[in-house]
Amino acid sequence: MTLESGRSSLPASVLQASLIPAQLKEAPNKEYPFYTEEIMTKQLSLLTTAAALLTVIACAPPPEPPPEIDIEAERAALSDAANRYHEALHAWDVDTIAALYASDALVLPPNSETKEGAAGVREFLATFSSISGLQVSFESPTVVVSKGGDLGYTLANLEITVDGADGEPVTSQERDFHLWKKQADGSWKVVIDIWNSPAPLSGE
């Protein structure tokens, strides 16, 4: 084994020898009684090992840079997932809607309790779809993807129509926000679903 020092390349044995004081070579137990030959040999062995490791580290190639993320491609994929969600909700295709939620998703309806996980999502969909006269539509979704390419959100105008107390349709305008997370298989799924109305509360 050879070790590089500056511009020279010296065998490890030569390096060890050069590190031993002349006094110790001649009489290690007289002038340095505490510094035995055994201790000196162990220390020099450690120094040699450390120098060899430093040489290996210095010569190691730099780590591979992380793969470049195509944000526009991810944004297009997220936009496609959001469109499929809106189409499935408009048609009340419950299985397709539920499949677009992550297994640990949270649904936070206005003025109602939070629904968690796959079971909570299906419970919410069953309750929501049973509302008399329900119709939903989405417009102008905004799609944003993080720099890391693994998180994104969509913000859409949501119109909900239901039958009022007198049987006549009542329509409300809502803001629908979805936080999406890219899954291990490359698909995008909703992890947080929340919406509310921009209208002031009654009496304000």
Q: Where in the chain is the domain with CATH 3.10.450.50?
A: 71-196
| CATH number belonging to the domain at 71-196, selected among 3.30.930.10, 3.40.366.30, 3.10.450.50, 3.90.45.10 | 3.10.450.50
pLDDT in tens, 114-146: 999 999 999 999 998 899 999 998 887 899 999
Q: What is the pLDDT of residue 71?
A: 94
Neighbours of 158 (CB within 10 A): 21
Q: What is the pLDDT of residue 200?
A: 85
Side-chain half-sphere exposure of 78, counting CA atoms within 13 A = 26
Q: What is the pLDDT of residue 7?
A: 44
Q: What is the pLDDT of residue 93?
A: 92
Indicate if the alpha-carbon torsion angle 202, 130, 80, 144 is positive or negative. positive
How much is the pTM?
0.68
String of DSSP letters for 62-127: PPPPPPPP-HHHHHHHHHHHHHHHHHHHHHT-HHHHHHTEEEEEEEE-TTS--EEHHHHHHHHHHH
Q: What is the pLDDT of residue 53?
A: 74
What distance in Å separates the CA atoms of residue 123 and residue 115, rounded to the nearest whole number? 8
* Residues shown for the chain: 204
What distance in Å separates the CA atoms of residue 11 and residue 48, rounded to the nearest whole number? 10
User: What residues of the chain score a pLDDT lower than 70?
Assistant: 1-40, 43-44, 56-57, 60, 202-204
What distance in Å separates the CA atoms of residue 1 and residue 50, rounded to the nearest whole number? 13
Contact 178, 193 (CB under 8 A): yes
What distance in Å separates the CA atoms of residue 188 and residue 81, rounded to the nearest whole number? 7
